[in-house]
Structure 1
Amino acid sequence: MIAQAPPERSTALCTYPDGSTMDDAKTARPADGKLVVFFDIDNCLYSKDAGVAEMMKGKIRAYFRRLGLSDEEAKDLHSHYYREYGLAIRGLVRHHAVDALDYDKHCDAALPLDEVLKDDPRLRKLLSDIDRDKCHVWALTNAYKIHATRVLKLLGIADQFEGVISCDYGAGEFSCKPEAAFFLDALEHVSTPPPPASSLYFVDDSALNVRGAHALGWRHCVLFDEGGAEEGRLGGLDKVPGSPPATGTADGDAGGGAAEGSPQVSVVHDLEELRSLWREIFKTSEPNGSTAAAA
């Protein structure tokens, strides 16, 4: 097999809460100096215990078999394409002339998500406690927009995001995390000019994706390692503690971890840990129960 050349730039798709997408008639908002927080979606905003990954794996391998592959070939190619391209569909597009939208129709869009994903009040509270006077909050996913927006709605948190940046399956060849083109295009969707790396916060359940963002200098990268099996894939990246001590600096540096001002990588096993790790982006609770912006 000879892989086709990757696209020269990303074809990331930006979808807004009203369902519209960024096109020639809609451009990114002017930069305003706020921090930008990116959340991955699948296996990050919901637990792996929901079983979505296993359901998705079954649909994907069934699609491989539709191409005339045996069960063993489907298993091997699925794993190979995921490792090689970040998404199985990219391997299918490059080597099997598969229509990515047809793939999505039979795989992601065919998942019975409404049977396993429900409103998550705890997650909604976490997201709503992010200080929007200081931050913009976006979803950043390798899924197509239909699946991404569907998950957010089922979790009851769609309104907590200013938009969803996803892969554009309709573009044929496209980039995805952890490729630099995808990350850089995502920033172009957020503002004009794009926000600086020093203002970026990112959480993902894939060590590979975290490494990709860290390599670009994204300031605060977090690996959500729910099961504890992913951290080893961060390689030799220096990690700061998941819960900085009270003596940490005002911008969340832990002291004794990464050098102040350098890109940081942390590992959490529960998204609630972000409250202590990223104190500066959350509103604080007053004794009377009201909230106020963190200093």
Structure 2
Amino acid sequence: MSPDIPDEDPRSIVWFDIDNTLYSASTKISQAMGQRIHAYFVGLGLDKDKASELHHAYYTQYGLALRGLTRHHDIDPMDFDRKCDGTLPLDDLIKPDPRLRKLFQDLDRTQVRVWALTNAYKNHAQRVLKILDLEDQIEGLVYCDYQQIGFTCKPEPDYYHNAMKQANISDPSKCYFVDDSRLNVTSAKELGWGHCVHFYEVGLETVEGGKTKKLVRDTNTNDLEGIAQISDLEELRTLWPEIFI
């Protein structure tokens, strides 16, 4: 081992997605974000229909609308961040949840480290964690670095490989992961992440790529992929009893 590379921590890692996972989709944050992204497209001189079409197309093709914007339009990604994520009234939409904080406090830190894994930029991620009173419970944060040319995002394999590299963990089977995107969870599972859970709030609405999506019953629940589905993070205590105090 090179002297400038720390020894690998023997503990497993619990990776938590942030948006629509640490808080409910009922907050309508995804809707508010979708409106801002649509306005950003229109601000480029596109009519509303073309803006909607490109918003959805870029989200579908690249995982994030911003990635399409940086590839096909002359935009500053940090300007996008300021005008979209940066203007969300998060303090009005989400509040600390003592029950959620207790869940984090009950994770056995002798067994696991706790990291956040998000497709947002660090500013947004840090704002959410601060409002939720979880800053001191998160040991590390992996985010989409908008300032990096060709940045990756979930569900791309490179994003997960980079996350493991940042956290200095080499064994994917020691990764616990919960996310509200089935695609993100499936991608992690295919890479060998050992304990993957899909957080899914049936009956609520969210926005993906500018399109409203109603969360209906997922027929893939607990299927052959070995991915459990939950609607309340408290269920993690039952699914992962070995890492809770």
TM-score normalized with structure 2 length: 0.90
Report what 1:211 is aligned to. Answer: 186
* Residue 220, structure 1, aligned to residue 195, structure 2: yes
Residue 91 of structure 1 corresponds to 68
Q: Determine the structure 1 residue equivalent to 2:11.
A: 34
- 1:110 maps onto 2:110 in alignment: no
Unaligned runs of 5+ in 2: 204-214
Q: State which of 177, 182, 196 in structure 1 corresponds to 2:154.
A: 177
Q: 2:227 matched to 1:265?
A: yes
RMSD: 1.8
CA 1:220–1:153 in structure 2 vs 1: closer, same or farther (change >3 Å)?
same
CA drift of 1:120 comes to: 1.2
Measure the CA separation in 2 of the matches of 1:189 and 1:233: 35
**1:139 is aligned to 2:116:** yes
* Number of positions where the alignment pairs a residue of Structure 1 with one of Structure 2: 231
Deviations 1:225-249 (A, max 9, x none): 012637748699515xxxxxxxxxx
Q: 1:214 to 1:237 in 2, by over 3 A?
A: farther
| Cα deviation digits, residues 142-201 of structure 1 (max 9, x gap) | 00000000000001111100011001001132100000001000001111xx33011110
Q: What residue is the counterpart of 2:210 in the other structure?
A: none
Shift of 1:75: 1.4
CA distance 1:237–1:281, shift in 2 (3 Å): same
Residue 258 of structure 1: aligned partner: none
Structure whose residues are more often helix by fraction: 2
Whole-angstrom CA distance in 1 between matches of 2:51 and 2:233: 34
The whole-number CA distance in structure 1 between the counterparts of 2:219 and 2:166 is 29
Higher relative CO (CA 8 A, sep ≥ 6), structure 1 or 2?
Answer: 2
Q: Do the aligned partners of residues 160 and 235 (structure 1) sit closer, same or farther apart at CA in structure 2, a change above 3 Å counting?
A: closer
Structure 1 runs not aligned, ≥5 long: 1-26, 240-263, 284-295
| Matches of 1:83 and 1:235, distance apart in 2 | 23
Q: What displacement does 1:32 show? A: 2.3
Q: Distance in 2 between matches of 1:130 and 1:104?
A: 32
- Bigger Rg over Cα: 1
User: Is the CA contact (8 Å cut-off) linking 1:100 and 1:172 kept in structure 2?
Assistant: no
**AA matched with 1:238:** L
- % of aligned pairs identical? 49
8 Å Cα contact 2:221-2:228 kept in structure 1: no
Task: Give the TM-score taking structure 1 as reference length.
Answer: 0.75
Q: Which residue among 77, 81, 86 is the counterpart of 1:100?
A: 77
